Amino acid sequence: MDFVIFDLEWNGCFSKKINSYINEIIEFGAVKLNESLEITGKFNCLVRPVISTRLSSSVKTLTSLTYEELQRGVPFDYGFNKFKKFAAGCVLMTWSKTDIDSLLSNLRFHRRLNIIPFMKQYVDLQRYCHDMLGLSGKNALGLQTAADLLGIDTEDIPHHRALGDSMITALCLRRLYHKAALESYIENCEKPFYDELTFRAFSVESLDSEYSDLSSVFFNCPECGARCRRKNKWKEKFKGFGAPFVCPVCDFSFTGRVTIKRKYNNTLLSKKVIRYSFHQNESSAVPSDAADTQHH
């Protein structure tokens, strides 16, 4: 089993053709590794942009690429075909799925494809390294942070360039390689893979939604801690839901606010107490710090 770790550089821009923003790919970079994780091949290719003729300042700063340099790049189709030849038959890997997402949107734009045709198996190395490092936080692990944690010297490798970042990713994998563990992170690139990849989280705003079951939502009194009673029905309010609550012990009244975010395989519900102030000079509602979340 061979692996191909790849990385893309792209320029975020607006396309009139699809009336939407797109990350236009401007560089492919990849390294091929054998089962002992020895580098057996390298791939690098600049792509001439056609959607936007202007590079965003962040791209210029990060990559130090210029528009003139990119004019010497190849058309996307040509670069993609060469990359395909390089990577076909291997397990593909990237640092987070953002690169897969961008590649897919470029394939959709240029070739009306909804899949990456030669990619059969895939590993998200950001997730793998995060877990293998024993990190518990939910924050995305930056590639340079991982390299630093692993004591990898990256000084001589060009950062934020496709081939350089692929190399750094390969060095991280080498430090954390465990054959059986890695195999358990291999995803088969079939329909569920693309369903999850293309799913966009959204906030649930309608009481009729299948995700807006508020029957088990409760609030404890922010003053005395007692379980509060809902005085009226839930209403749709400011991209979420609100209902009046009163404490049976101390009579404290407040609005319970709930927002719901639907993600691919879970629903995230956040609660907040909105306190009312009846003093003359204060405005209507002051949100309290008492926010918490519960998973469904």
Minimum CB distance to Zn ion, residue 228 (Å):
7
Minimum CB distance to Zn ion, residue 235 (Å):
23
Tell whether residue 243 is a contact of Zn ion (CB under 5 A). Answer: no
Minimum CB distance to Zn ion, residue 273 (Å):
11
CA–CA dist 229, 72 (Å, integer): 68
Tell whether residue 222 is a contact of Zn ion (CB under 5 A). Answer: no
Q: Please select the residue that binds Zn ion; options are 30, 167, 189, 247, rule is CB under 5 A.
A: 247
CA–CA dist 280, 286 (Å, integer): 14
Tell whether residue 250 is a contact of Zn ion (CB under 5 A). Answer: yes
What's the number of CA atoms in the CB half-sphere (13 Å) around residue 287? 8
What's the number of CA atoms in the CB half-sphere (13 Å) around residue 271? 19
CA nearest 249: which of 274, 228, 235? 228
Minimum CB distance to Zn ion, residue 224 (Å):
3
Q: Interacting stretch for Zn ion, rule CB under 5 A, among 71-79, 99-107, 169-177, 244-252?
A: 244-252
Binding-residue pattern over the window 128 to 147 for Zn ion, x denoting contact by CB under 5 A = --------------------
Secondary structure class of 39 (helix, strand, coil): strand
Tell whether residue 90 is a contact of Zn ion (CB under 5 A). Answer: no
Angle formed by the axes of helices 162-175 and 125-132, to 10°? 30
Tell whether residue 252 is a contact of Zn ion (CB under 5 A). Answer: yes
Report helix, strand and coil shares of the chain as percent, to nearest 5.
Answer: 25, 30, 40
Q: Interacting stretch for Zn ion, rule CB under 5 A, among 115-123, 237-245, 250-258, 275-283?
A: 250-258
Secondary structure class of 210 (helix, strand, coil): coil
Binding site for Zn ion (CB under 5 A): 221, 223-224, 226, 247, 249-250, 252
